[in-house]
A and B are shown apart, each in its own frame.
Chain A
Amino acid sequence: MTIENKSFQWIINIIMMAIAIACLIPFSLLIMSSISSEASIIQNGYTFFPEEFSMKAYGYLWTHWSELGRAYGITVFITVVGTAASLAITSMLAYPISRSDLPLKNLFAFLVFFTLLFNGGLVPTYLIYTQVFHLKNTIWALLIPGLLMNGFNVLLVRTFFMTSIPPALIEAASIDGAGEIKIFYRIVLPLSLPIMATIGLFAAILYWNDWFNGLTYVTDSKYFSIQTILNKMMTDIQFLTSNSNIAGSSATSEIAEIPSTSVRMAIAVIGVLPILIAYPFFQKYFIKGITIGAVK
């Protein structure tokens, strides 16, 4: 390596390190806040160096463990199944549209794009899914509405296929007698691992973070996902604290005992951690080397 290259590496590493710190600082503030005591947060706000530590927030979440444990299971299930299904149908739709020789490809692209801008809103969507497909209070309600595929990912993958897969390669395979479907999964997909990992990550984040479907299509608490419960807890606490006259009427001492200021931070922490653990799995496909050059 030349000296110039070495100093170049130094410079870019310093830049990236600065950016990484900028991303990490607020996150560490989050973690510190979740283990600060209620009183010290109220007196001094959220700080990196709280006067007094307290695990009360996690203790509070722990008392809801039976609920949360089940919800974690649901979330892992829908994230895994949903991400796999999402990857499959997204790439299956994106590939044909990416082919410049496909008849009507612009129309299809437009149809996909149109869905990004216009939507009928929650009410009609709910009507379709509950009245026509009877998804209410089923596990499908967490998998299908709104999450399974989105136009953004389709167009992203399509653009990737268009720019990164040389048409000559497909033609060559076609001449060799490979069918379209075989070409798709034997040549196109293996060449597209980085983008597949990217949208896989996006889909996984989407499924993992989704609480809306749980609140909309599910009233039976047995199908609540982790984010649905966390979101409910957060809004419940917010509601209880801002409507003390209502809360105070119930005899439970719970309201006074909820460490509300640190709990919301603890909730954010336990919601994010698993995604961080899953991240390296997707990252594996972010390596250089599986490139067209290597295949050729």
Chain B
Amino acid sequence: MKKKFGWLSAILALMILIAACGTNSGSDNTAEKASESNESGEVSEAPYEVVYAFPIFQSVPKDLNLVQDEINKISKAKINVTVKLLPISISAWTNQINLMMTSGEKLDMLAHFDYSTQVSKGKLYPIGDIMEQYGKGIIDALGQDYYNATKINGKSYGVPSIRDLAQDYGYIIRKDLVEKHNIDLSQVKTYEDYEKIFSVIKAKEPNMVGVTNMSGNSVLGTYSTRDSLGDDFGVLLNNGQTDFEIVNWFATDEYAQQLKTIRKWYQAGYILKDAAQNQEATQAIIKAGKAAGNFSHMKPGFEAQESRGIGMKVVAVRTAPAVAKTSTVTNVMLGVSSNAEKPEKVLQFLNLMYTDKDIVNLFDWGIEGKHYVKMEGQDNMIKYPDGVDGDNVGYFGYGWMHGNQFLSQVFEGDDPEVFIKQAEFNKTAVKSKALGFTFNSEPVKTEVAAATGVLQQFRRGLESGVLDVDKELPKFIAKLKDAGIDKIMEEKQKQLDEWAKANGN
């Protein structure tokens, strides 16, 4: 017995030793960081290398390094900074970033999609502190309203890429069906009106349903008339136009009504029977002729984008207005890592991504002549060079992620004015009163975890019409209560009131 303890304690001692080493090196790092940021005024000889991690949804393009070299030529000359692109597969993304940050690997800049958590977990450097000095161009490009939307307790920790920052909502349908059956889309004014389309499809196309689910989501999908305030646990009705009173969305009459309508459609055969399990992509289902269309959030140019995805022309019906909410702004963000050695250098580079047309186009389309060519006679339009197509092109980038997309050229097939229209859309969109409020769920994370589980359990079934609303909705509401949604809402209301006061409302 004694010997056993001897062994165990030896191992324990070893572990503590290692652990201690870990702490030491950790504190060393922060000390270094502090000293270095003190001497930030000096001009360093060697260019600073910015490691920029971003998720990638395909294999890494083979000419990535060539494009990186071209970007570096410009950035080195302008601000003495080079960039190292670090694409990480989306399947490894969250893990990889967590691991890199805990182990202190070099990481300066990253794209992210869950702003609130990233900030509350301390992953991001508060760039708001140095924004006026190094990131003026970003604020100008973004506009003060949208820049303010990124502030948490008065401080910005990241900036959205410039793309569609608001969303409107509606339904897309195959154009050929509309023409063939003379469907009058203009008669659809409200959500309930969609039935007029679905019933025609049901009658005329026996093998097709009127609406399919959004892939990986319910039939209702992202269709929204509320400001979810991030997570839907406590929302502002009427797109946040009325007041600051948080309500439980799932217990509202409006929600119940939406569900009942969906259920009615499901029973009438307007919806795929497997809508709550279906694993296929929406586009594939529509392309295969199994459904006529689907609900979605939208933006200018959405029809062209979806037509390309489906491979058939589609038209859109919009029934909910364009609204800008914190969630529509912060769902794709760029930020400086809290591990960054010289945040000011990183921010300078980020600034280039919002102001330098050449850098943006390198990021989005690659090298001119090699990965794209300008279209003759059309300013700002580009296409693939001869002999190059989507399958063998050596580079592709995600314009919606890498900084200011509005500086990007437009690819053949899109509306030449798509970015101008999107900029206008951002400007004219209705703004939720709570635009700029970011909920910090940290104080109630136990409840949020439990409630998220409940949401996962009921939502897709109910919002696809598969479950009986009268029976399951009360259960859903009761379970959310059990999980502590009231506590979440209370915390959220508190934070929102404080925010509103601080912002002069």
Residues in chain A within 8 A of chain B (CB atoms)? 38-39, 42-43, 63-64, 67, 104, 107, 111, 122-123, 126-128, 130-132, 136, 215-216, 219, 221, 229, 231-232, 235-236, 238-257, 260-261
Cross-chain contact B280 with A247 (CB below 8 angstroms): no
How far is A240 from B59 in the complex, measured between Cα atoms in Å? 13
Cross-chain contact A248 with B305 (CB below 8 angstroms): yes
Interface size range of chain B in the complex: 35 or more
How far is A107 from B411 in the complex, measured between Cα atoms in Å? 68
User: Please, what's the 1-or-0 string for B1-14, where 1 marks a CB less than 8 Å from any CB in chain A?
Assistant: 00110010000000
How far is A43 from B290 in the complex, measured between Cα atoms in Å? 7
- Residue picked from A104, A232, A257, most chain B C-beta under 10 Å: A232
Residues of A within 8 A of B99 (CB): 122-123, 126, 130, 216
User: A132's closest neighbor in chain B, by CB?
Assistant: B18
Overall SS of chain B's interface? loop
The 8 closest A-B pairs by CB, nearest first: A242-B216, A241-B281, A235-B91, A248-B305, A42-B288, A252-B390, A215-B92, A251-B411
Cross-chain contact B309 with A247 (CB below 8 angstroms): yes
Instruction: Return A59 CB to nearest CB of chain B, in Å.
Output: 11
Cross-chain contact B396 with A43 (CB below 8 angstroms): no
Instruction: Return B18 CB to nearest CB of chain A, in Å.
Output: 8
Cross-chain contact A246 with B283 (CB below 8 angstroms): no
Cross-chain contact B284 with A104 (CB below 8 angstroms): no
How far is A221 from B60 in the complex, measured between Cα atoms in Å? 8
Residues of B within 8 A of A251 (CB): 390, 396, 411, 413
- Residue picked from A128, A136, A251, A252, most chain B C-beta under 10 Å: A251
How far is A274 from B88 in the complex, measured between Cα atoms in Å? 28
Instruction: Tell me, yes or no, whether B188 is within 8 Å of chain A by CB.
Output: no
User: A264's closest neighbor in chain B, by CB?
Assistant: B279
User: B311's closest neighbor in chain A, by CB?
Assistant: A256
Residues of A within 8 A of B399 (CB): 249-250
Cross-chain contact A260 with B280 (CB below 8 angstroms): yes
User: Please, what's the 1-or-0 string for B280-321, where 1 marks a CB less than 8 Å from any CB in chain A?
Assistant: 111111011110000011010000011011110000000000
Instruction: Tell me, yes or no, whether B326 is within 8 Å of chain A by CB.
Output: no
A247 and B89 contact, Cβ closer than 8 Å, known pairs A43-B290, A107-B4, A126-B103: no
Cross-chain contact A248 with B309 (CB below 8 angstroms): yes
Instruction: Return A255 CB to nearest CB of chain B, in Å.
Output: 6
Residues in chain B within 8 A of chain A (CB atoms)? 3-4, 7, 18, 22, 25, 57-60, 86, 88-92, 95-96, 98-99, 102-105, 163, 207, 214-217, 280-285, 287-290, 296-297, 299, 305-306, 308-311, 389-391, 393, 396-400, 411, 413
A246 and B400 contact, Cβ closer than 8 Å, known pairs A42-B290, A130-B105, A260-B284: yes
Residues of B within 8 A of A128 (CB): 18
How far is A250 from B56 in the complex, measured between Cα atoms in Å? 12
Instruction: Return B63 CB to nearest CB of chain A, in Å.
Output: 13
Instruction: Return B167 CB to nearest CB of chain A, in Å.
Output: 9
Instruction: Return A271 CB to nearest CB of chain B, in Å.
Output: 15
Residues of B within 8 A of A43 (CB): 207, 288-290
Cross-chain contact A239 with B215 (CB below 8 angstroms): no
Q: List 11 A-B residue pairs with CB atoms under 8 Å apart, sorted by A's residue number.
A: A39-B289, A42-B284, A42-B290, A43-B290, A215-B91, A235-B90, A241-B216, A245-B305, A256-B287, A256-B308, A260-B284
User: B89's closest neighbor in chain A, by CB?
Assistant: A232
Instruction: Return A244 CB to nearest CB of chain B, in Å.
Output: 6
User: B90's closest neighbor in chain A, by CB?
Assistant: A239
Cross-chain contact B284 with A38 (CB below 8 angstroms): yes
Q: Which of A216, A250, A260 contacts B281 (CB 8 A)?
A: A260
Residues of B within 8 A of A64 (CB): 59
Cross-chain contact A244 with B281 (CB below 8 angstroms): yes
Residues of A within 8 A of B309 (CB): 244, 247-248, 255-256
Q: Which of A131, A219, A229, A241 contacts B283 (CB 8 A)?
A: A241
Cross-chain contact B391 with A63 (CB below 8 angstroms): yes
Cross-chain contact A107 with B90 (CB below 8 angstroms): no
Residues of A within 8 A of B310 (CB): 256
Cross-chain contact B103 with A254 (CB below 8 angstroms): no
How far is A126 from B59 in the complex, measured between Cα atoms in Å? 24
Cross-chain contact A67 with B59 (CB below 8 angstroms): yes
Instruction: Return B37 CB to nearest CB of chain A, in Å.
Output: 23
Residues of A within 8 A of B411 (CB): 251
Given contacts A131-B25, A241-B216, 12 further A-B contacts (CB under 8 A): A39-B289, A42-B280, A107-B7, A215-B96, A219-B88, A231-B91, A236-B90, A244-B306, A248-B309, A252-B390, A256-B283, A256-B287
Instruction: Return A67 CB to nearest CB of chain B, in Å.
Output: 6
